Each structure stands twice: as structure tokens, then as C-alpha cells.
Amino acid sequence: MKKLLALILVISISLSLLAISIEMNSYNKKYYTQSFERYGVVEVTGKSMDDLEVITEDIILYLKGRGGDELLNTHFNEREVLHMRDVQDLFNLARTLKYTGLFLAILIVGYYIYKKEGLGFGRALFLGPFVIYGIFLFLALIISRDFNKYFTYFHLIFFTNDLWILDPSKDLMIQMLPEPFFMGIALRIMLSFLIFMSIIQLAGFILIRKGMKSDEKLSSQVEGDINN
């Protein structure tokens, strides 16, 4: 039972932090503008930086679920808007996973507190991330060899149509957000996630130390009572 709870806790926290990392970086307007400058998007699209920033703000609002197609219709063609509907669905799924994960994590943490299982709680938080690190390292090594290939696989897995296949010669979406943009944001998401997980792991280490000290103190008290 305890091992199962520890597993659910680690998975719940990991999914929540991954969703938070995705949102945090996908909603970062500064990264978009830096990308526009780095990849010469003004020249490619023929739009001013001010125009691109307005479009970016509407994209971010759309991804946050704070508006519908009306946010995009003035900027993109029908195919691009239809694709963004699918993208919005993925962000809605990420939000669901985030809140579900947080809810489960809070319940399990409450259980550990109720049972006074600080040491077991700490071990789950400290040891669990090592598995996550291994998975991320494996994925990073594979994806770094051919980002385009695995980016294509991502679309084939998560989208049931070919609306994501856009034409760089005429579609504004791909002109604004070329492949290097997604390479950069994927790296940022991964780094953010690993930083969050390392903080969780540090918290687990602290709980382990406190739990061990409490056990040592209790053992000393028991030995003292026996000797007396």
C-alpha cells in the first residue's frame, strides 16, 4: 500500500510540474519576441514587431482558454485556426492533468501527515525523481539526435489529422513559429521541469534527515528508559 501511494505521489507531482512547466514557458511572451528577433521573423512575415506581439498575446490568451476562434481569425487562415483548436485541446488536457495531479498529491500528503510518516514521505520525494531523471535523459538523448523526426512523431501521436502540416511559404503560423522555436521551448520546458523536480527532491532529503533524527531521538529515549 505504501509503495503504491509513493508511486502515485511521484507520478502526480511529476505530471503537475510538467504541465506547469509547459504552461509557464508557452505563456512566456518574452521568449516569443526573442525568438522573432533571433530567427528574423519580421523579415519572413513582413509584419512589424508590434504586430507580432499583438498576435502573440492573442495566441497566449487562446492557449489559456480565455477566448475562442475570434482571437485567431483576424491573424490566421482557416487551416491554421483549426489546427490551433487541436492545440488548445492539448493545453486543456494539460490543465486537467495539472489539477488532478495536485489534488491526488494533496490527498496523499495528507495521508502521510495523518499517519506521521514523514520519513516515508521524504523517501518518496527523494528517490522518485531519480526515475524521472532517467526517463528524461533517455528521451533527451534520442530526441537530440533528430529533433524533426521526433517532433513529427509527436504530431502523429497527439493529432488525428494533418492540419499541423503547414506551408512555410504562405502560412503565418509556421513563419512565426519555425522548428527552432519549438526546439528552444522544449529545452526550456525540460529545464524548468528538472529544476522543479530537484526542489521536490531537496524537500524529500530534508524530510528524510528530520525523520532519521526523530527516530534516533526516539531510540535514545527508549534506551534511556530501559537502562533506568
What is the domain partition of the chain in residue ranges?
2-227
Helix (H) or strand (E) holding 208: helix 179-227
Q: What's the pTM value of the predicted model, to 2 decimals?
A: 0.88
Average pLDDT over residues 83-90: 97
C-alpha angle with apex 38: 33 to 41, nearest 5 degrees?
70
Q: How far apart are CA 76 and CA 18, in angstroms?
A: 29
Q: How far apart are CA 46 and CA 124, in angstroms?
A: 53
pLDDT tens-digit series, residues 140-171: 899 989 999 999 999 999 999 999 999 999 99
Burial 129-161 (b: 16+ CB within 10 A, else e): beebeeebeeeeeebeeeeeeebeeeeeeebee
pLDDT tens-digit series, residues 176-194: 999 999 999 999 999 999 9
| Contact call for residues 42 and 48 (beta carbons, < 8 A) | yes
- From the CA atom positions of the chain, what is the Rg in Å? 23
DSSP 173: H
The answer, yes or no, to whether residue 220 has pLDDT greater than 60, is no
The answer, yes or no, to whether residue 222 has pLDDT greater than 90, is no
